[in-house]
Amino acid sequence: MSKHHKKIVAQNRKARFNFTILEPFDAGIVLLGSELKPIRESRVNISESFAEFVKGELFLLNCHVAEYVKAGVFGHNPVRPKKLLLHKKQLNKLMGGVKTKGQSIVPLSLYFNEKNKLKVEMALVSGKKLHDKRATIKQREWDREKLALVKQRNQVN
């Protein structure tokens, strides 16, 4: 197993398109026992999720974790707020970015690290304008065309 092994459980692919990622960081997450099984089975959705400060603590909101049927009455609310675990310096830096510069905190992916702990890859982001999104699409298409030309050139040789 490599040193930086990650088992990605969920990704927010739209985040990289809709936002300019300013500063990525990893955070731990507080879960209930009935939430871990569905997460291990990748039955989680973070595409509409965001992080927000509540009384000085950072919470992941709108993250949908499917209910675990075998939990019965001890189950969980599928969209309950989940507390994120960060160092105080990181929290202060993020709070400053959100309050003063009008930036947001968005999850990019959920993954299990090499110690089998669930982590959330978050990022401090700012929204892209329509022309920025168009430029992203144009760059992606240009990269695809270059790759196709290289493959075509290699097949001829």
pLDDT at residue number 72: 64
Specify the pTM.
Answer: 0.74
pLDDT at residue number 86: 92
Q: Which CATH superfamily hosts domain 7-128?
A: Small protein B (2.40.280.10)
CA atoms within 13 A on the CB side of 90: 16
pLDDT at residue number 79: 83
Q: Return the H-helix or E-strand segment holding 81.
A: none
Write 72-76 long-range contacts (CB < 8 A, 24+).
74/33, 74/34, 75/34, 76/32, 76/34, 76/35
84 vs 6, higher pLDDT: 84
Distance CA 131, CA 37 (A): 41
**pLDDT digit string (tens) for 1-42?**
445 678 888 898 888 878 888 889 999 999 887 788 888 888
pLDDT at residue number 84: 92
Which of these ranges, 16-25, 65-74, 86-95, has the smallest mean pLDDT?
65-74
pLDDT at residue number 133: 78
Residues 6+ apart with CB under 8 A from 125: 15, 19, 20, 21, 22, 103, 104, 105, 106
Domain ranges of the chain: 7-128
pLDDT at residue number 1: 42
75 vs 153, higher pLDDT: 153
Distance CA 82, CA 61 (A): 7
Segment 127-133 shows an average pLDDT of 76
> Is the confidence at residue 75, as pLDDT, over 80?
no
pLDDT at residue number 157: 67
55 vs 66, higher pLDDT: 55
